[in-house]
Structure formats: structure tokens, C-alpha cells
Structure 1
């Protein structure tokens, strides 16, 4: 079945079908018509969405992006040294003026933002698509507090994966985003891998989780194997891996593939002590 990624082929088919009935329609007009049929504002918006899907798929796992009607425009928080995952609660320290304005805009609205890692941590103004990773996480701003040094401390709670389909670089950075739907989250393979991940994490972190009741496992920040997607994202946050590897896990919408990658990472070695310095974002 064709979807939005086949838009160009659909436009060509439409143009040829109309030509057979002596109806003249240029290729660009066909593209605009197909874009509207698929729910996008125009061809430029749909083309950006197609590019986001292609870039997200570079992680090697299929990504299911929601329909255009589910898209939204949110303020963007570009991160120098953080990959946020769904259900992750963390503090972000904001010093850049654009991001401060993005915070102000968010708290006067529905408090939702898109938290996305920038490709170059030294970039002070990542205002172009190529400066940001294609997939981030929508998050809710819990509270804001100005520190003694003037830096704004913003607590956020991760919600869901989302692909960037367009950027608006104005007083603050905003993005047109589309939620990414998880795949195979309730499959038998995911269930089996979830138990394997829990067992592997016990060895990786030197914690005997098997002897603990489910209620006490929460102290280690681990959900049960009944929610494979949440388990994968929780363990991903606890691994001593680099930002690029974390980003690859974030971009993996297939839960089975994500769990398998996490198993491989844990089997590759024990964690090393890391000291992540706080960097202003």
C-alpha cells in the first residue's frame, strides 16, 4: 500500500491519468494536489516530511511517522550533551537567548516542547535542519527556576518520539514535528527480549534484580518486562555509552530492534565511571 513517501509516484500517476482524459496538469500542480490529499498544507511541507522519514531510517530500523493531521509545531530545545528519552525526567540548564525565549513561549501555552540533540555541541546557534538530529522527543515543561548565575533551570518530562519535518527559525527555534509510532512493542519477540535485557542488566550493573519483587525494582528505575518499549528506553538511559549511540537508540522505532541493540551494547562490556559535565544549552 502506498503512503506519503510515494507522493512523487502518485503525482506522476495522477498526471498521466488526467492526460489520458485530455486534462492538462503539470507535475508541480500534481505534487501540490497530492500533498493536500495526504493532509499536508503544501508540497514543501510534505517534502520535508519525506526527507525526515528518510533521514530517520538511516538508523537501520523502520520508522513509522504519524499522519500529517497529527503533526504540530513546537518550540525546540537544542541539546549540546543530552539525548532525552520518553518518560525521562531531567533538568536542562538554559543560557542561550533563543532557547530562553522558547521556554517562555512554551510556558504560556500547553508547555510542550521538542528536545533534540544537536550534531555539534560547540554550535551556539543550531538553526538549520542539518545542525540537528532528525528525531527528538516531545516533552512537557514541569517548572522553571532562574539560578544565581542567571542560567535558567528547566525541568522537563519526556513524552514521545517525534521527527522534525520543518524548522522555523525566528525569535526562537520551532519545528514542525510528527510523532513516531512504535512498532512490535507487544510482540512475542519483544517480550522475550525484555526478559533477556533485564537479565543482562543485572550482570552489567552488578545488581541481582531477579531476587527483588517488582515494587523494589522501581528503586533501580527499571519497569517490568510487560512494557518492552518503556524498558528499552529506561535501560538506554542507564548505559555508559556515547551520545551518538544514544541517538541511534532513540531513532530506532522498532522495539524489537531497539532491545536487541541494547543487549549488544551491554554484552560488549561493563560500564565505566563517567563524569558528564554540565554544559549550558
Structure 2
């Protein structure tokens, strides 16, 4: 296991054992409410164990979503402690569960039993950020995200309204990243950024990259459309 950085050491709390829910193709952030369909036997057992207590789980994303029985090496160490909001057993035996991310956490031990997986994890407190640099980064992220939406991304208008009311830097970054079309590894990198300024900087770079790609795609579509229109005119002539 890799050692915690100096920044992380200042925010790590007491260890606690949580039922472990491995995630495929999704990274859950604090304050993010997500519906999941769960079908693996040990994952269902983890949900049931959580429901017997405080409904808390450790949510860790798999490095390879194709693996059915992940080991510790198959999971990212940094995940999110989440709470079950609602759970429904479906006729086919799978479970639909609504989970709310609560707080970042780091897995320090992996407990594998035949019936379920568990994670011994420490919570990572959210660091505050009230500097002018932080304020400038938050403004930059909001403006860049608005540009991203205006380039054709279908995101509800109320999302921008809700973002305008967020005053915590880390919370803003976590809320924005959930709406970006980026890779799992990019999302995980944001999750592992404990310092809010570092998180905002990485997020802004990701949004700028996506904006550049969207602008190129728009130019390509425009060029193809003009070529098709020209070909159509030549055909009718």
C-alpha cells in the first residue's frame, strides 16, 4: 500500500470497517446521489449488511470493469463512503439502490470473506479554501462549465443554478465533474485530489480540454455539412 502524502496525513481520521461495494464504470463523489443496479452476490450481501446497521458503505471503483470478483489490487484505494437512501429488490434477483456519497475515504485494509467484501477505511476531511486564488478558480470553473454546456452538452438549466449557490470550493469541483464526459481515470484523479485548489486546477484543465475537443467536433460537423450541401447542389445541377 502506498503511504499517505503529508496533505492526506493532516486529514485522516479513525479507521472504520465498512461493507465494500465495488463499482464498475462509475466514480461516486461526496454529495452525489446515484441509482445503481447491483447483481453480484457479494455486492448484494454488502448492501444487506449495510442496511442492518447505519446504511454506510465504502464505494471503490474497479480499475477493470470486466472483473467479476475484484481483489484489493483491482480497486482504487481512494473511494467514497456512501449511504443507502433507498433499496428495492427486483423480480430477477438484482437490487436497485439509491446511494448518496458522503465523504472521501482511503482504504487501508481489504477484508475478503466468502460471503462479502469489507474495507477498513479512514475518512478524509474536506479542507476549506477561502483565498483569492480559490475564488478566482471557482469563477473560472463556473465560466468554463457554462461554455462547455453552450457547446451542445445537454445538461438541465437548473444544474447551473444549483452550482451558483455552492460556496465550498471542493463541493463545487465534485458537483461539476459529475456532469463531464470524461474517463474513469480522470474522475478518479479528481476524487484523489484532497486539496481544493489542486482539485479545481485539475478540473479546469479537464474542462478546457473538453471544450477544445467540442470546438473541433463542431468545426468538423460544419465542414461535413457544407460538403454534403455542395454535393447535393452538384447532383441537382
Shared fold (TM-score, shorter chain, > 0.5): yes
Paired residue for 1:199?
143
* Contact 2:128 2:168 (C-alpha < 8 Å) held by counterparts: no
Displacement over 6 Å in runs of 4+: none
Paired residue for 1:111?
55
State how far apart, in whole Å, the 2-side matches of 1:225 and 1:203 are: 19
Which string of whole-angstrom CA distances, capped at 9 and with x for unpartnered residues, describes residues 101-132 of structure 1?
10110001010001110111111011x32110
1:155 to 92, 98, 106: 98
Which string of whole-angstrom CA distances, capped at 9 and with x for unpartnered residues, describes residues 173-224 of structure 1?
00110112333533332222111111111111118xxxxxxxx855654253
* Contact 2:12 2:125 (C-alpha < 8 Å) held by counterparts: no
1:122 to 43, 63, 66: 66
State how far apart, in whole Å, the 1-side matches of 2:187 and 2:8 are: 16
Q: Gapped runs of 5+ residues in structure 1?
A: 1-50, 208-215, 274-281
TM-score by length of 2: 0.80
Q: How many residue pairs get matched?
A: 208
**Residue 256 (1) aligns with residue 197 (2):** yes
Paired residue for 2:171?
230
Alpha-carbon spacing, 1:225–1:155, altered in 2? closer, same or farther (3 Å) = closer
* Contact 2:12 2:124 (C-alpha < 8 Å) held by counterparts: no
**Residue 88 (1) aligns with residue 29 (2):** no
Paired residue for 2:89?
146
What's the secondary structure of 1:133's corresponding residue? coil
State how far apart, in whole Å, the 2-side matches of 1:219 and 1:151 are: 34
* Contact 1:190 1:228 (C-alpha < 8 Å) held by counterparts: yes
Paired residue for 2:116?
172
Alpha-carbon spacing, 1:67–1:135, altered in 2? closer, same or farther (3 Å) = closer
Q: Gapped runs of 5+ residues in structure 2?
A: 152-156, 218-237
State how far apart, in whole Å, the 1-side matches of 2:39 and 2:168 are: 36
What's the secondary structure of 2:210's corresponding residue? coil
The structure whose residues are more often strand, as a share, is 2
Paired residue for 1:268?
209
What's the secondary structure of 1:179's corresponding residue? strand
